[in-house]
Each structure stands twice: as structure tokens, then as C-alpha cells.
């Protein structure tokens, strides 16, 4: 049981604000990836963290940043929010080197007005 | 550039019949594919995978077929059950041993009782 949790579940922000989303799990999986899923789209890879370092990034601007903590929990920070940032944000945990076993949290739905 | 495509946004099937969900890809370097299932308010959950060295992988009611020459894979669900109603995503890691998955846009399957 990996028990991936994300908080908050829903969030409303206004354009230009900053937001921090959180992800945690009960297990010791050492990678965490963040995805953005816009309405009607598949999840888009934002970045991945391994051993507290960013280990790969998708096509997202620097105002998307993250942290991974020693207890494997993670944060996604988004500065200068734009309307198009409205989406479901998913975190996924896994073990480095594995391709198959990636466990997703339920997501945080962000609405930017 | 959408490297993984699911051209059918939705599919309705009668309970007990076969559900066939399709996925096309453009990058011939992909060597591993996964299918995820997503229920509302939950994160995607891993369903089944296939390596490019195989053309078929079966797990219970779920079978994935891979046609490398056509760059096409399909997920068969037999027999379909109402609990299978969900959004199905195919995904591929562009680099082996990573979680930098590229997801398709998803197909919403509705199994009618």
C-alpha cells in the first residue's frame, strides 16, 4: 500500500498569485514526478525528482518548480499563475530504474480566475 | 507534437462484449508501453504493460497487442464489465528506466449494463 496523498484536493487562485501543492506517501519510493492534466487531455510531464534533485523536466517554464524532501514528500510550486494553469495536478511516486510501477495520487484540481 | 495518440475520445460497449481501445505512436524509439485506468476523483492506476520485444501481453480479462510496424497498440477487455467504465490512457516512456511518460489524451469507456 503506497497511500499517495495530495493536498489540497481543490484550490482556487487568481491570476498572478503563487500556489504550493503537496504530495506524500507512506512508502519509501525514491522518485516523484509531477504531471499537469488539462481538461480533455492526458497528463503532461512537468518534472521528476530523485534524491531531492530535479531529474528531468518537461516543456514547462521555470515558474514551475519543485522540492523533494528527505521523507520523500514533495511540493510543486507555481509562480505568477496564468489562466491556462487551471488543471488537475498529479504526483506519482516510483522506484528509480523501474518503468512499470508508478503510483499516482488523486490529484489537486487548481482553478485560476 | 503528440507522440502518443488516442483518436477515440469515447467508447460505449454492452456488458459482456469486447472493448477495444486503440493507441498510435510516432516515435519508433519507444520500447515500452503502459495502459492506465482512471476513475473520477482518483489518480491513474497501472493496468497492463508491454515491451517492444513482445506483440501480446495478457492479464486476466485484459490483453494488450503491439504492432510495431504500424506503430499501433490496442487494449482488449473481454468480457467488459460495468466496473470497467473509466478513462483509459496509453503511455510510453521516451527514455528507458524513467517515469517521464508521454500520455495519450485518453479514451472514456462506458460499459452499459
Q: Do A48 and B100 touch (CB under 8 A)?
A: yes
Decide if B99 and A43 are in contact by the 8 Å CB cutoff.
no
Question: What CA–CA distance (Å, rounded) separates A24 from A33?
Answer: 12
How do beta strands B45-51 and B32-38 pair? antiparallel
Residue B107 contacts A, CB cutoff 8 Å = no
B65 in reach of chain A (CB within 8 A): no
Q: What residues pair up with B52 in beta bridges, in sequence order? A: none
- Residue B49: the pLDDT is 92
Interface check for A30 against chain B (CB to CB < 8 A): the answer is no
d(CA A52, CA A78): 18
For B94: left if phi > 0, alpha if psi spans -120 to 50, otherwise beta; the answer is alpha
Residues 18-47 in B contacting A (C-alpha not used; CB under 8 Å): 32, 34, 36, 41-46
Spatial distance between the Cα atoms of A92 and A48, rounded to a whole number of angstroms: 9
Classify residue B6 by burial, with Cβ atoms within 10 Å: 0-12, 13-18, 19+.
Answer: buried
Which positions of chain A have pLDDT values less than 50?
A: none
In tens digits, chain B (113 residues) has pLDDT values of 679 999 999 999 999 999 999 999 998 888 889 999 999 889 999 999 999 899 999 999 999 999 999 999 999 999 999 999 999 999 998 776 666 889 999 999 999 99
DSSP conformation letters of A30-55: -EEEEEEE-TTS--EEEEEEETTEEE
A105: chain B residues, CB-CB within 8 Å: 43
* pLDDT value of residue A96: 61
> Do A92 and B49 lie within an 8 Å CB cutoff?
no
Amino acid at each position: 500500500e503506497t497511500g499517495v496523498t495530495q493536498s489540497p484536493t481543490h484550490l482556487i487562485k487568481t491570476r498572478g498569485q503563487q500556489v504550493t501543492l503537496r504530495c506524500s506517501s507512506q512508502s519509501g519510493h525514491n522518485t516523484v514526478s509531477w504531471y499537469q492534466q488539462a481538461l480533455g487531455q492526458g497528463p503532461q510531464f512537468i518534472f521528476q525528482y530523485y534524491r531531492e534533485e530535479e531529474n528531468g523536466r518537461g516543456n514547462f517554464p521555470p515558474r514551475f518548480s519543485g522540492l523533494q524532501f528527505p521523507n520523500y514528500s514533495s511540493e510543486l510550486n507555481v509562480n505568477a499563475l496564468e489562466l491556462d494553469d487551471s488543471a488537475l495536478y498529479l504526483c506519482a511516486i516510483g522506484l528509480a530504474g523501474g518503468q512499470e510501477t508508478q503510483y499516482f495520487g488523486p490529484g489537486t484540481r487548481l482553478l485560476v480566475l | 507534437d503528440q507522440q502518443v495518440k488516442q483518436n477515440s475520445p469515447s467508447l460505449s460497449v454492452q456488458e459482456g462484449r469486447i472493448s477495444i481501445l486503440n493507441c498510435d505512436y510516432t516515435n519508433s524509439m519507444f520500447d515500452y508501453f503502459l495502459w492506465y485506468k482512471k476513475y473520477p476523483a482518483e489518480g491513474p492506476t497501472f493496468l497492463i504493460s508491454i515491451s517492444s520485444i513482445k506483440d501480446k501481453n495478457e492479464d486476466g480479462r485484459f490483453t494488450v497487442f503491439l504492432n510495431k510496424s504500424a506503430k499501433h497498440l490496442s487494449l482488449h477487455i473481454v468480457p467488459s464489465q460495468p466496473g470497467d467504465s473509466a478513462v483509459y490512457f496509453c503511455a510510453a516512456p521516451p527514455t528507458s528506466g524513467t517515469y517521464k511518460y508521454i500520455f495519450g489524451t485518453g479514451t472514456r469507456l462506458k460499459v452499459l449494463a
